[in-house]
Chain A
Amino acid sequence: MAKTHKKVVVLPCSGIGKVYGALARETTYELVEKVRPGLATTTCLPLLVINDPEAVALVRENPVITIDGCPKDCAKKSVEAVGGNLAKTYEAIKFYKEHKDLKPEGIAEVNEIGRKLAQVAAAEVAQEIDKLAAGEET
């Protein structure tokens, strides 16, 4: 029988100087606060970098979805480095490529259009969260 999950971890990259890093974070916050509160959760990516026991346990015991802001894939690689349960990976630019009418701008935080794109992205990622929570393959 497939294993169901009460939590699905969504981890954005920490990108401090790139619009798609900001989009990754906004999408994550949208999921955690509005779209799947209680089911979607996140943690600070740097906690994995310093091997924080609680953060490492969280990503080992629950399925993890990463959203990276650039091809260096820091979020994905950080989860892999601690033996996390990586279930699905995204690069945030994918969402813009599929919705070219919503071009995000901003570095530390995205602009209003970026927020709309994050809502669209969160709706897509939420479907994967639901599958993982139900124990389905993504």
Chain B
Amino acid sequence: MDIQVQKVGVVSCSGEEIPEGTLCRLACRKVLDERPGETVTICLPLFIAGGEEERTFAANYPTITVDGCDKMCAAKATEMLSGKPAKTLLIPEILKRHGLAPPDKLRHFGPEEEAAVKAVAEEIAQAVDEVLEEE
């Protein structure tokens, strides 16, 4: 019997200019580290700078995009250059649902930002579960 373990692609916006971008990266990294057998990622600009393998990322993996602001770069770039994401998550909406304030610094996150990282990572992990169930 073949046992196939499907992996889910997690694409983070990276948002270097805004604190939510750092939050996005840290939360995505937490999920990728905690669920290495079920998740995979790609650096977003590789959709342009990479080769065929990178451009077919969303065709090879059902993909969850995580964005730090309503410009939705990760969702738009994934759909434009690779394939339609299975789910799209937005940090401000997640923080609002959890009653958490957005972070106010670009780097060196510590205990003050821990609750936000945890909440976002939990929602990403839940989305991973939902996508795996659908597959």
Contacts and interface: CB of A to CB of B under 8 A. Distances in A.
The judgment on whether A and B are partners is yes
B125 interface: no
Contact of A49 (B12, B17, B48): B48
Interface of A: 11-17, 21, 25-26, 28-29, 33, 42-50, 52, 72-75, 77-78, 81, 107-109
A21 B22 CA distance: 13
A108 B33 CA distance: 11
B3 interface: no
Interface residues of B, number: 33
Contact of B46 (A12, A28, A44, A72): A72
B29 interface: yes
A28 B107 CA distance: 11
Contact of A46 (B29, B32, B45, B109): B45
Contacts of B13: 44, 46
A28 B21 CA distance: 14
B43 A15 contact: yes
Most buried by B among A21, A50, A81: A50
